[in-house]
Structure 1
């Protein structure tokens, strides 16, 4: 997370630094990204950068966490609008995510994110960095889910049901980038797999 000195900056200075970081992480994956390029773009010294972030990883994961937070807020909005239907809300979130990835300013950044996946990136993107964090996420959204639409017997099963749906979406995003699928094909694959999950595959 950023240091307190980052939050003390005026909003426009914060955004300038974050935008420069996003551009650099769009140019190259995290392990190849350069702090020199970031500070050059936003016109600060290397020493100033380290006053705001511990290192480039700190800046990268902050950007990812902010995106994850926005996705969670949208998911809750979609749950409310769909009367707690987790499948409809997830489908809308997946479609919105694909639309975001089609924008030039987002596509390269997330392509590097998903094609250079590791456990920390996956956990940060899916709000599961720690067990406690995922439980908080679950508590934040479960009140908006219509549990009568799910064949879950208790909170533990609900926990795993939400995890399955999230991982289904996550894996389809990776496939979208790895195979260069069109938005339409990615939606088709996702919808088919989600429908299989909804009805079950056992006779």
Structure 2
């Protein structure tokens, strides 16, 4: 979390530091992202930056926290409009999230870097930091279809396992798409294929 001095800055200065950090961390892996570039873009000294944040990692997670909070806030607004069965809701939310990515390309680039496994120490910390909140968001998404019946809970778990497994398989090829719109179309098409297999049953 930022130090108290950061919040004593005027909102324009805070936004400039945030934008500088977002720009650098979205364009470069964490290990090679440069605090020198950040302070140059923000127009502050390195000494000032580390009065506002304990270290580079503290700054990184402040920016990532802010981006994820924005994603959750904006997509949650549209979640209440999702209608249909369990499968349709999952697909609908995926489309909503991709629409946010398309509208926020720099934030999307940061999230893409943050959640694609690069075997780094910061990736492991990132997963540990956000795993519980991601689970909570997904449970909220499926809450209208979840009852106390064991069969309902098992159905929800199966859908979650399928989506998680599909994401792990799909994530490594994300960088092969230059256009997020094309990525959205490919992702949704393949996700629908997998969910249809679950919905209709696996044929012999």
The 1-side partners of 2:4 and 2:197 are apart by: 47
- Determine the structure 1 residue equivalent to 2:81: 81
C-alpha displacement at 1:135, in angstroms? Answer: 6.7
Pairwise CA distance, 1:18 = 0.8
Could you tell me whether the CA contact under 8 Å between 1:79 and 1:145 is conserved in 2? no
2: distance between equivalents of 1:84 and 1:66? 31
Equivalent residue, structure 2, for 1:147: 146
Deviation at 1:32, TM superposition (A): 0.1
Q: In the alignment, what sits opposite 1:40?
A: 40
Tell me how large the CA RMSD over aligned residues is: 3.6
- Tell me the residue number matched to 2:113: 112
Q: What is the aligned length?
A: 195
- SS of the aligned residue for 1:81 comes to coil
* 1:93-151 deviation per Cα after TM superposition (whole angstroms, max 9, x unaligned): 32243344445534543443344543333344xx31xx5x5676577x27842326x97
Report deviation, 1:191. Answer: 1.9
Q: 1:4–1:153: structure 2 CA closer, same or farther, 3 Å change rule? A: farther
Structure 2 residue runs without a partner (length 5+): none
Instruction: Out of 38-47 and 182-191, give the one that drifted further.
Output: 182-191
Match of 1:57 in 2: 57
1:53–1:59 contact (8 Å) kept in structure 2:
yes
Q: What is the correspondence of 1:120-159 to structure 2 with a 5 Å cutoff?
A: 120-124=125-129, 127-128=130-131, 131=132, 133=133, 137=137, 141=140, 144-147=143-146, 152-153=150-151, 157=154
> Alignment partner of 1:95: what SS?
helix
2:190 aligned residue: 189
Residue of structure 2 in register with 1:68 after alignment? 68
Q: Which residue of 2 aligns with 1:14?
A: 14
User: 45-54 vs 34-43, which deviates more?
Assistant: 45-54
| Rounded Cα–Cα distance in structure 2 between residues aligned with 1:137 and 1:186 | 20
Deviates more, 1:40-49 or 1:64-73: 64-73
User: 2: distance between equivalents of 1:30 and 1:17?
Assistant: 17
Tell whether the 8 Å contact from 1:24 to 1:38 is kept in structure 2 after alignment: yes
- What is the TM-score with the length of structure 1 in the denominator? 0.72
Per-residue CA deviation, residues 45-66 of structure 1 (Å, 9 max, x unaligned), is 1121112222222222222222
